[in-house]
């Protein structure tokens, strides 16, 4: 996809905010705990490489991604810190895992047996680093019983081609007020730990929500994701433990301003009609950029005033109702601060009836990321 460098619409990423969010969490961590920054999905839409570099400055000692290609991107950008791939990687790519010195998740015995078979056919002195995933109630990937985990550990011990580096699980309700299911998952993971006679270098259970609201949980590594970008993992369900600084702003400019008479229709489907003479401004952003059609009726900021999006959002443009004539080229703030007013990503998510994670990941690569 071509990046729209030659139009005013852009995402502005405050790398200092990312650095501060990481540092504020590092200061809270128990001694001997490490923070791995989660930069999957292009750094939750913020840009993986630039986010990673800012996270290192804040005190991150490693990274988590979702797929092999994301890990390779970091390595080829010069990131040398440990990188864990949180999902399953096909065993046919083991040579790439070794080449780029990557850690990989083991979620089934079948996968590990196939991996050992692959390793037997590779002439290498390097061991494959693995993290064993325990499914304590997420229902996604991983081993579901202490016996299964114990068996996989014993299998790992049969070969020097594998380095058991980590053991982990993921909590599904750490960001909710009701912690009963969280406790159930915690107890299940404790049962796994009790069944093992030894533990690997990293034991990690803490995503952002767990790190913020359950800091006394077991483990010596935190997978710091959404909070690193300054967003509350719970949305609005739980208060922030410390101020999180949002790193992303979305801005554009007005490319046309015109006064329309009463009775004029705006946009596809004629879903909005001017009730009187109105000033209408056009912004060069649309659903192809991730500014979705359901945001019709939402407001953006122009000179600190909230201006409603009128008519259906188009693929590349949308229209807003202005309080008065405004000069073409005036900045429009779709997410961020303007003249003392703020539009947050949570507000966008609320309008879309979703979560801010999805909003951030929806922004397309057509919008350039500008880092400051």
208-247 pLDDT, tens digit each? 999 999 988 889 999 999 999 999 999 999 999 999 999 9
Q: Are 214 and 190 in contact (CB under 8 A)?
A: no
Choose, from 99, 184, 268, 324, the residue flagged as catalytic. 268
Residue 123 has pLDDT above 80, yes or no: no
The CATH number linked to 300 is: 2.40.37.10
Choose, from 40, 53, 129, 133, the residue flagged as catalytic. 40
Tell whether 255 and 219 lie within a shared domain: no
The CATH number linked to 41 is: 3.20.20.10
If you average pLDDT over every residue of the chain, what do you get? 96
pLDDT at 78: 98
Tell whether 40 and 138 lie within a shared domain: yes
259-313 pLDDT, tens digit each? 999 999 999 999 999 999 999 999 999 999 999 999 999 999 999 999 999 999 9
Domain final residue pick, 172, 195, 229: 229
Tell whether 182 and 296 lie within a shared domain: no
The mean pLDDT value for 104-127 works out to 92
Domain final residue pick, 229, 256, 285: 229
The mean pLDDT value for 105-116 works out to 96
Query: Does 288 fall in a domain?
Result: yes
Tell whether 296 and 155 lie within a shared domain: no
Residue 124 has pLDDT above 80, yes or no: no
Q: Tell me the angle at which helices 15-28 and 48-58 cross, rounded to the nearest 10 degrees.
A: 40
Domain span at 333: 248-343
User: Structure tokens of 365?
Assistant: 């690569």
Question: Percent of the chain having pLDDT more than 70?
Answer: 100
Q: Catalytic site residue 268? A: yes
34-62 pLDDT, tens digit each? 999 999 999 999 999 999 999 999 999 99
Q: Which distant-in-sequence residues (6+ apart) come within 8 Å of 73 by Cβ?
A: 48, 49
Is 140 annotated for ligand binding?
Answer: yes
pLDDT at 125: 79
pLDDT at 171: 96
Q: Catalytic site residue 40? A: yes
- Alpha-carbon span 169 to 189, nearest angstrom: 7
- Total domains present in the chain: 2
Enumerate long-range contacts of 73-78, CB under 8 Å, 24 or more apart: 73/48, 73/49, 74/39, 74/48, 74/49, 75/100, 75/101, 75/102, 77/49, 77/52
Q: Which residues pair with 13 in a beta bridge?
A: 248, 371
Tell whether 136 and 270 lie within a shared domain: no
Is 345 annotated for ligand binding?
Answer: no
Q: Are 134 and 199 in contact (CB under 8 A)?
A: no
Residue 370 has pLDDT above 90, yes or no: yes
């Amino acid at each position: 996809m071509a990046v729209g460098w030659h139009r005013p619409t852009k995402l502005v990423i405050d790398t200092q905010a990312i650095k501060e969010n990481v540092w504020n969490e590092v200061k809270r961590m128990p001694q001997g705990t490490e923070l791995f920054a989660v930069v999957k999905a292009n750094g939750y839409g913020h840009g993986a490489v630039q986010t990673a570099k800012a996270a290192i400055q804040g005190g991150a000692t490693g990274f988590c991604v979702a797929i092999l290609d994301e890990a390779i991107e970091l390595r080829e950008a010069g990131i040398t810190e440990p990188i864990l791939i949180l999902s399953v990687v096909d065993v046919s790519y083991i040579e790439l895992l070794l080449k780029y010195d990557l850690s990989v998740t083991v979620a089934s015995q079948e996968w590990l047996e196939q991996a050992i078979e692959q390793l037997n056919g590779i002439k290498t002195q390097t061991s494959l680093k693995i993290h064993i995933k325990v499914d304590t109630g997420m229902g996604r990937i991983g081993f579901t019983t202490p016996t299964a985990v114990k068996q996989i550990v014993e299998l790992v011990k049969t070969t020097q081609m594998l380095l058991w580096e980590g053991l982990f699980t993921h909590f599904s309700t750490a960001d909710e007020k009701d912690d009963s299911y969280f406790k159930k998952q915690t107890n299940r993971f404790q049962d796994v730990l009790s069944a093992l006679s030894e533990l690997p270098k990293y034991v990690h259970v803490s995503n952002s929500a767990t790190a913020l609201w359950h800091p006394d949980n077991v483990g010596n590594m935190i997978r710091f994701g959404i909070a690193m970008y300054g967003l509350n993992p719970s949305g609005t369900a739980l208060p922030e433990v410390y101020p999180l600084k949002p790193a992303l702003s979305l801005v554009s400019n007005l490319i046309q301003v015109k006064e329309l008479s009463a009775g004029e229709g705006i946009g596809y489907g004629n879903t909005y009609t001017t009730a009187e003479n109105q000033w209408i401004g056009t912004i060069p952003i649309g659903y192809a950029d991730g500014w979705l059609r359901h945001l019709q009726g939402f407001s953006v900021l122009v000179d600190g005033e909230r201006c409603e999006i009128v008519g259906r959002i188009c693929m590349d443009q949308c229209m807003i109702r202005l309080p008065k004539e405004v000069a073409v080229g005036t900045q429009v703030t779709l997410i961020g601060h303007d003249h003392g007013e703020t539009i947050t990503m949570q507000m966008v998510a609320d309008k879309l009836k979703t979560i801010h994670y999805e909003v951030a990941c929806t922004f397309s690569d057509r919008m350039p990321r500008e880092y400051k």
